[in-house]
Amino acid sequence: MSVDKLYQEIYRPQFHFTAKKNWLNDPNGLLYYKGEYHLFFQHNPKGLQWGPNTWGHAVSTDLVHWQEIEHAIEPYELGWIWSGSAVVDWTNSSGLQTGEEKALVVFYTAGDSIVKPEKPCVQCISYSNDRGRTWTAYENNPVLGRIVGHNRDPKVIWHAPTKKWVMALFLDGNDYALFGSPNLKEWTRLCDIQLPNTGECPDIFELSVDGDEKNTRWVFWGGNGNHLIGTFDGSRFKAESEVLRTEWGANCYAAQTWSDIPRSDNRRLQIAWMSGGKYPNMPFNQQMSFPCELTLRTTPEGIRLYCQPVREIETIRQKEHTWNEQKLSPSENLLSGISGDLFDIRAEIALGNATEVGLTVRGEKIQYNVVEQQLSCLGKSARLEPLQNNIQLQILVDRTSIEIFGNEGRVSMSSCFLPDLENKSLNLYASGGEATVISMRVYELCSAWLQPDA
């Protein structure tokens, strides 16, 4: 095996996507077409800090191994290129298809009004007829003019029951709106939605409840992870929940889900920008989260969103360490013989009479306070109720991030950290009493940047 020297840097994440070089932020234009997952992203190709935005572009066949290709959307006379989404126009409703390949259509905000008031934020489209390798701006852009404020971040979906395209758009403050279109070019306002204390980067998607496709709900999502669960009839979204959260970590923002996942797969897949990580003396800046699958499940509090890493993490597993039915006393560390910087850790722990259980990963503590039912790491906490006095944890450890998923994803915590380079230890502990490891699997992972030798 060999690895591109560009991806060997000491703080380079090894299974989280990063741009080859320079600044990265929001994931954009997520779609699947003919065996490829497309990941576009806000990118400053000329510097390590946020700046004039383009759409960078990467593709993958498995959500783990990514290849960065040519930039997709560059700034033009309408201004900088901000966040947005993408769809496959399967029926050529837009009339933009010119060959045998279906047209891929991306939606983005153009404008410089945040830095240049004379160029307001408007919504535009570009399209590709060669599987996303080259892009053409629609000649009659914008397809939706300025409405209010810095209105931005169009997320477009196909609503099959009413046979129309639907766009979710951030307007201003707590205000969002939905728009409808028959052809991706002409848009009519459908309804308004309020999502307090959130701001920008909307998403809207339908999920079955407890896997029952006859019982579905819609999720309306905002940039900081706040979301509503409710119903949508193609014209109006009606919330049935209060504002909810699943993600409680320090560094998760602007998450978006993939469009056009095949019916044979039918997962709702999401990725986010891990905003605010530190990467000193690196040629790149910022990273994405690891892709996750979203589901809706019934809980005693009502229907709630769950989030778990995609199963494709298994493609980079190496050595496995296994324990079953092991007592865990305050003086023991089952993991004392393991060290490294890339892990997928899965554990189910019976809390017993312990007052605290947890792990220490490269010096960073992941702790569960049994009395307060609080899961904490890197300065953030989330309530996690035990299940029959047990908790389940999955923890993904990369060189600069720790992502925690509690009780099959009832809560998730995605956080960045800057590790002690000399400390690659793992520690599993219980304090205040004895706990039991019902089962534990520690998988050492390999780099996703490794490529077979030619």
pLDDT category at 331 given cuts 50, 70, 90 is confident
CATH of 17-289, one of 3.40.228.10, 2.60.40.1120, 2.115.10.20, 1.50.10.10: 2.115.10.20
What pLDDT is stored for residue 125 in this prediction?
Answer: 98
Q: Is 26 part of the annotated catalytic residue set?
A: yes
Kindly state the average pLDDT of the residues 385-407. Answer: 97
Q: What is the DSSP letter of 379?
A: T
Tokens of 228: 């509503």
Query: Does position 199 have pLDDT exceeding 90, yes or no?
Result: no
**Count of other CB atoms within 10 angstroms of residue 341:** 18
Domains 17-289 and 312-445 share a fold: no
Distance CA 166, CA 168 (A): 7
What pLDDT is stored for residue 119 in this prediction?
Answer: 80
pLDDT category at 326 given cuts 50, 70, 90 is very high
Kindly state the average pLDDT of the residues 96-102. Answer: 97
Tokens of 50: 């946020």
Task: Kindly name the residue from 26, 153, 341, 398 that is annotated as catalytic.
Answer: 26
What is the tens place of the pLDDT at every residue in 48-88? Answer: 999 888 999 999 999 999 999 999 998 878 888 999 999 99
Rounded to the nearest integer, the mean pLDDT of the chain is 95
Q: What is the DSSP letter of 339?
A: B
What pLDDT is stored for residue 170 in this prediction?
Answer: 98
What pLDDT is stored for residue 3 in this prediction?
Answer: 54
End-to-end CA distance of the chain: 9
What pLDDT is stored for residue 449 in this prediction?
Answer: 93
Q: Domain ranges in the chain? A: 17-289, 312-445
**Under CATH, domain 312-445 is a member of which superfamily?**
Exo-inulinase; domain 1 (2.60.120.560)
Kindly state the average pLDDT of the residues 387-404. Answer: 97
Q: What is the pTM of this model?
A: 0.96
